[in-house]
A and B are shown apart, each in its own frame.
Chain A
Amino acid sequence: GNSVTQMEGPVTLSEEAFLTINCTYTATGYPSLFWYVQYPGEGLQLLLKATKADDKGSNKGFEATYRKETTSFHLEKGSVQVSDSAVYFCALSPTSGTYKYIFGTGTRLKVLA
């Protein structure tokens, strides 16, 4: 079946540090992949997406590349800010048969000034 595995948090970094949050997936076919961010007290917001292999999604300095050979979609940012403190969710949209996305368990990021 389809599944998403995210690295466990919390992840604590100093401002301007490099960020990587790992995400791997299991799916048949060619799913679309997403990263969502949830700030305290809010719903989830779409951060970036990739719909086919080797696509790179990017937004607000965050990047993730759809790697089919390693079934991964790791989130990266070169220099984090305090305002990036949030919970990050990796998600998968199956190729067909269902519109229900598969979400990872979320990774909490805390950035210290």
Chain B
Amino acid sequence: EADIYQTPRYLVIGTGKKITLECSQTMGHDKMYWYQQDPGMELHLIHYSYGVNSTEKGDLSSESTVSRIRTEHFPLTLESARPSHTSQYLCASSAGQPLGGGYTFGSGTRLTVV
């Protein structure tokens, strides 16, 4: 049973629309992450958060924005979707070190912008 939930699973949307991808976790993890996964499978970190009101940009530049108002919720927003935003988006959370338990991933949102 998943402890981290992403909605929607699939989204097809027109160019210029504003979209929000939802991510929620029930594990009380402080750390949360957004990855963009290209068709070649490689994962690119686009945003992360180490706690409420803390957000940082990741290694790959992205036009998306995130917020972290509650521990359990880490939504990602695109103000104006473009075809170049078409991708799989994966949300993850972790308890962080020293527990070293690893990341827990959601099932992902596959976004297609037409």
Contact = CB atoms under 8 A, between A and B. Distances in A.
Interface of A: 32, 34, 36, 38, 41-46, 49, 51, 87, 89, 91, 93, 96, 99-101, 103, 105-106, 108
Contact of B41 (A42, A100, A101, A106): A106
Given A43-B108, A101-B103, A93 B97 contact: yes
A34 B6 CA distance: 23
A96 B97 contact: yes
Contacts of A99: 31, 48, 50, 94, 96-97
B107 A49 contact: no
B1 interface: no
Contacts of A32: 100, 102
Nearest to A43: B105
Contacts of B96: 99
Nearest to B6: A43
A44 B97 contact: no
Interface in B19-39: 31, 33
B43 A43 contact: no
B104 interface: yes
Contacts of A89: 43
Nearest to A107: B41
A49 B90 contact: no
Given A99-B94, A99-B96, A43 B42 contact: no
Given A43-B105, A46-B104, A108 B41 contact: yes
A34 B41 CA distance: 17
Nearest to A106: B41
